[in-house]
Structure 1
Amino acid sequence: MSDFAMFETSHCNPNVDDGRPGRAHRVLRDANLERARGTASVVFNSAGSVTRIANLYDKFPTRIMFPRIAGDAAIEAVLVNAAGGIAGGDRFELDIIAVDDARVAMTSQAAEKIYRALNEPARINTRLKARDSAKLAWLPQETIVFDGARICRQIEIDLHPGAELIALEWIVLGRAARGEEITRGYIRDSWLVRRGGRLIWADSFLVTDSTIRHLSRKALLSDRRAIGTLIYCAPHPDRRLELLREVAQSRQCDCAVTMVSGLIVVRFAARESADLKIAMIRILQHFDRELGPGPFRVPKMWLC
């Protein structure tokens, strides 16, 4: 057990004694505290060129909002965490399904913050499904990880061969402007992508208490504090591979583009989150220009 999971309390617990007369302590765990259990599920379909909400369910503290964007055929949905952040032991489940000819962009209201845990990681599971000729964009704002935070996040993507999808996740290790340093914690960020029921890509980023102090090595993250992964899947992704490689070049951000099993994967790494955001905006602006009106663009919430 980590040393920061042990706290001195004024409550007497006869089953746990530190050996000193008149003093007792107990182990405070995340499971002993009130934890958030957020759930949301939304299904989008279409009627002609109009995208509609076919089904919606959300449970506090998770909410899905639909701001009005005039003259837009695509829906931009906004995920809200009313708890104001995520801590150890929290659980969040999200399902986004787009069918028919739906055009959907899902983003988040603000940067998500992962706070210090006692002994248990927060768990976030996101499942994205795009069927038929749907276009789905998962473009949340950054996830800020604080010192001592523990998180297991998994993204599962299930695609029909005719569907098109962009999905993004990015992590910021502490806020550079406030001089925050990450000295301990646990981060597991996993991806599973299936197309036509077949697994085409699996990826995982893992940091633990024992390895986090080595991230500054040149072979690992060097002095990069913000990292991100963007994937793009479409019936003919090879047409955009070279163009994306040209657009991805930025002096403020390290960026590389490759293709795996017909899936374009873009990796980002930057010293500060602002530099990373500039690079991502450039990539999304490229999609907006090349693909025309639709969900593959810079979300309006990013500009608020």
Structure 2
Amino acid sequence: MFETPNGSSTWTDGNARSAHSILRDADLERASGVGRIVFDGGKRAARVVNIYEKFPTRIMFPQISDDTAREAVLVNAAGGVTGGDRFDLDISAIGDARVAVTTQAAEKVYRALDEPARVSTRLKIRDTAKLAWLPQETIIFDRARIRRQIEIDLHSGTELMALEWLVLGRAAHAEEIRSGHIRDSWFVRRDGRLIWADSFFVSDCTFPHLSRKSLLSDRRTIGTLIYFGLDLDRRLETLRDAVQSQQCDTAVTMVGGLIVVRLASRGSSDLRGALTKMLHHFARELGPGPFRVPKMWSC
């Protein structure tokens, strides 16, 4: 026990810092979740041939009526993400596997003290596999700090759809983000060659200016969806048709043999509605498979 300048006493241990020391994220217990799945498939539905999970990451496989594609659901048992947390996810689809992967609920990134949370996702697709990475939204709270990176390894003959979307404060709760740190990066490789890289970066000094028309204007929810597969010209027109009547800002283009869709809206419900309509439209075009609205989105 030591005495503070005002005469009060404070308990401490042998590794004590002064009474005026600043608490850091590294001083607190933080999550370190890991999830790895390998799917293989032939004429029947995809099967799990390898799986590993480390708390607080959990992987569930709900029963769905359609057996043309397997659906996996990721659960963060910690209830959210905060500074200093680390989450690593590795998903592989080989053979003729048809797999959709989503999340149980919207992920929430809470206030950090001084360190960013780090979230890494790696998607690997081989042979004639089809993989849909369709998580629910990530909600960013004031003073949150996160560095998220998604790496995708494609091969000719595979098919992929991948989505990430951010909600910068919940409009229904009148939440405002005044500071924080967000770095959201994509790296896509085809047959080992980088074909697309993208990064969204916002720091403490940037948040006060996001409402400018040259930046996000009054849009609080932004998303990126990419597609790779066969007959890209036809798929490009399908997606352009699907976004014409949406209640949010959208743009569709093709870069390096990859279709890229950008979405922005004032509220998360508008963007969710746009994504739902787009996926329904796309599913009608492609037929049975993983490229559709995940069942978990309606739970």
TM-score normalised per structure 1: 0.92
- Give the fraction of aligned pairs with identical amino acids, expressed as a percent: 68
CA–CA distance in structure 2, aligned partners of residues 45 and 299 of structure 1: 20
More divergent stretch after superposition (109-118 vs 40-49): 40-49
* Partner residue, 1:263: 258
Letter matched to residue 47 of structure 2: R
Q: In the TM superposition, what are the counterparts of 1:47-86 in structure 2 within 5 Å? A: 47-86=42-81
More divergent stretch after superposition (163-172 vs 49-58): 49-58
* Partner residue, 1:125: 120
| 1:253-278 deviations in Å (ceiling 9; x for gaps) | 00000000110000000000000001
CA–CA distance in structure 1, aligned partners of residues 253 and 42 of structure 2: 36
* Partner residue, 2:298: 303
| Pairing 1:230–2:246 present | no
- What count of residue pairs does the alignment treat as equivalent? 290
Q: Secondary structure at the match of 2:259?
A: strand
2:236 to 236, 241, 245: 241
Q: Secondary structure at the match of 2:41?
A: strand
Letter matched to residue 113 of structure 2: L
| 1:9-60 deviations in Å (ceiling 9; x for gaps) | 966799866xxxxxx3111100100000000000000132321111111010
* Partner residue, 1:106: 101
Distance 1:287 1:11, change over 3 A: farther
CA–CA distance in structure 2, aligned partners of residues 173 and 180 of structure 1: 8
CA contact under 8 A between 1:10 and 1:25: conserved in structure 2?
no
* Partner residue, 2:145: 150
Which residues of structure 2 form unaligned runs of 5+? 1-8
1:167 to 155, 162, 172: 162
| Pairing 1:280–2:272 present | no
Q: Secondary structure at the match of 1:244?
A: helix
CA contact under 8 A between 2:45 and 2:70: conserved in structure 1?
no
More divergent stretch after superposition (40-49 vs 89-98): 40-49
* Partner residue, 2:89: 94
CA–CA distance in structure 2, aligned partners of residues 104 and 249 of structure 1: 28
CA–CA distance in structure 2, aligned partners of residues 254 and 10 of structure 1: 56
CA–CA distance in structure 2, aligned partners of residues 265 and 108 of structure 1: 22
* Partner residue, 1:37: 32
Q: In the TM superposition, what are the counterparts of 1:165-204 in structure 2 within 5 Å? A: 165-204=160-199
CA–CA distance in structure 2, aligned partners of residues 181 and 233 of structure 1: 36
Q: Provide the aligned C-alpha RMSD in A.
A: 1.6
1:287 deviation in Å? 1.5
* Partner residue, 2:208: 213
Distance 1:100 1:28, change over 3 A: same
CA–CA distance in structure 2, aligned partners of residues 254 and 247 of structure 1: 13
Letter matched to residue 173 of structure 1: L
* Partner residue, 1:254: 249
Letter matched to residue 196 of structure 2: W
CA contact under 8 A between 2:40 and 2:97: conserved in structure 1?
yes
1:127 deviation in Å? 0.2
